[in-house]
Amino acid sequence: MPVDSAVAIPALILEWYDRSARRLPWRAMPGAPPPDPYRVWLSEVMLQQTTVAAVGRYFADFTTRWPTVADLAAADDAEVMAAWAGLGYYARARNLLACARAVTAAGGRFPDDEAGLRALPGIGDYTAAAVAAIAFGRRAVVVDANVERVVARLFAIDAPLPGSRPAIRAACDTITPDNRAGDFAQAMMDIGATICTPRKPVCALCPVNRHCAGFRAGDPERWPVKAAKKARPLRRGTAFWVEVDGHVLLVRRPDKGMLGGMRALPSGPWSEADPGLADAPVAGNWQPIGQVAHVFTHFALDLAVVMGTSERDAADGEWWPVERIGEAGLPTLFAKAAALAQKSRKEERE
C-alpha cells in the first residue's frame, strides 16, 4: 500500500469514528477518558464468539453484581457459572474467575501492556491487545473477526483463512496509528459491524472506500477468502429428567471438559454410538419424550431426553424446584432439554 494511503487511512477512520462511534455500555466515547480496564476486559471476554446484542444484558448483570475485579474475584464459582449460562463457550467463565483472582492477588490492577496482560489466565493475544489499546492507550494491533474482514478487503488478501491471519495482522499493523490506537481499533470494529458486513457491504458509506482494493475490484464480498468447511461429526447422548415432589435432579458437571462446572441434567457420555440408558443416575422405568439438538464448535449433538421418578435419597445431586428451573443457570443445551420436559409434563396434565 502506498505511504500516503497508510497515513490517510487511519486519519479518515478516526474522523469517521468521531462522528459515528456506536454507544456501547463498556465503551468510552471519543474524547472521554479511557474506560475502566475491568470493564474493557470483561466485555472483550464476553464478546469472543458472541454478538454485541447478546452480550449487553450479561454485561449489565455482571457489572451490577460484581462492579469491580475484586468483587468478581470474591464471587462464588457456581454463581458466576450460572450468571454466564446462555453465553456459551463456558471455559471463558472459568478463565474469567481465574484471571480476576490473579489480578486481585497482584494488587487489583491490570497490567498496562500486552506482555503483562498475556501472562494472566485466559488472556490471549487478541484480548491483551484490545485491553492495552482501549484501556491504556498503548499502540497495539487489534484484530477481531470484524477487523479481519475489513483488512482482508482493504488489502485484497487472497490467501484463505485461517492461514492468512498473519498477513492480515501484518497489514493491519501498517495502518494502526501511534496515537488513539484504542479508538482506531474500536472504529475498525464498528466499520466491520455496520458497513463492511459479511453480506452486502455498504461501501458507499465507508470512509476509506477509495483506498480499498476490494472495493476497486468491484466484488468486496470475495474477501476474506475462507477455506472449505469440514463437516461436523454427530454425537449422541441421553439426558435424564428425574422428578420427585415437584423437584428435578440436577448435577454439577466436572470442572474440566464440555460445560465444565455448570449445573445440568444428569447425562451419559456423548459419542457416535447411541449410549441409551446405560448411564442412568438411578434405576427406573424411563419414558422417552423426544430429543434436542445442539451445535458445539467441533461437533453436533443429538440429545435424547427421557423422564422418570425416584426417591430423593436414591441419587446424588441437587433437587431443584421445577417451577424455578429458569433460575438454575442451565447451559443452553440443558435448558432446551428442560423446556422439552416441562412441555411433556404440561401435556400429560392436560
Q: Give 7-35 pLDDT, tens digit per residue.
A: 899 999 999 999 999 999 999 999 999 99
Do residue 46 and residue 60 come from a single domain? Answer: yes
Rounded to whole angstroms, the Cα distance separating 235 from 312 reads: 31
Do residue 200 and residue 276 come from a single domain? Answer: no
Question: Is residue 30 in a domain?
Answer: no
Do residue 2 and residue 146 come from a single domain? Answer: yes
* Chain segment 212-230, per-residue pLDDT in tens: 999 999 999 999 999 888 8
Do residue 95 and residue 151 come from a single domain? Answer: no
pLDDT at 3 over 70: no
Tell me what the mean pLDDT of segment 265-283 comes to.
86
Q: Is residue 322 exposed (0-12), middle (13-18) or buried (19+ Cβ within 10 Å)? A: middle
Which residues are catalytic, by number? 44
User: Residue-wise over 261-299: b if at least 16 C-beta within 10 A, else e?
Assistant: bbbbbbbbebeeeebeeeebbbebebeebebbebeeeee
Do residue 73 and residue 123 come from a single domain? Answer: yes
Q: Mapping DSSP to helix (H, G, I), strand (E, B) and coil, where does residue 317 land?
A: coil
pLDDT at 131 over 60: yes
Do residue 130 and residue 263 come from a single domain? Answer: no
Do residue 95 and residue 68 come from a single domain? Answer: yes
Across 6-20, 78-92, 243-257, which has the greatest mean pLDDT? 6-20
Task: State the pairing for strand pair 234-244/300-309.
Answer: parallel
Grid coordinates of 75: 464471587
Do residue 311 and residue 264 come from a single domain? Answer: yes
Question: Is residue 72 in a domain?
Answer: yes
pLDDT at 74: 98
Rounded to whole angstroms, the Cα distance separating 81 from 126 reads: 23
Tell me what the mean pLDDT of segment 309-334 comes to.
87
pLDDT, averaged across the chain: 93
Q: HSE-up of 286 (CA within 13 Å, CB side)?
A: 19
Do residue 119 and residue 156 come from a single domain? Answer: no
Residue 300: phi and psi, rounded to 5, are: -105, 150
pLDDT at 297: 84
What is the domain range of residue 68?
Answer: 35-136
pLDDT at 255 over 90: no
CATH code, 316:
3.90.79.10
Share of the chain above pLDDT 90, in %: 76
Residue 193: name the closest of 134, 145, 237, 126 by CA.
145
Number of domains within the chain = 3
The whole-angstrom distance between residue 95's C-alpha and the CA centroid of its chain comes to 12
Q: Are 98 and 122 in contact (CB under 8 A)?
A: yes
- Distance in angstroms between the alpha carbons of the first and the last residue of the chain: 69
Q: Are 307 and 243 in contact (CB under 8 A)?
A: yes
pTM, two decimal places: 0.81
Residue 44: name the closest of 29, 65, 61, 27 by CA.
27
Question: Is residue 96 in a domain?
Answer: yes
Question: Is residue 185 in a domain?
Answer: no
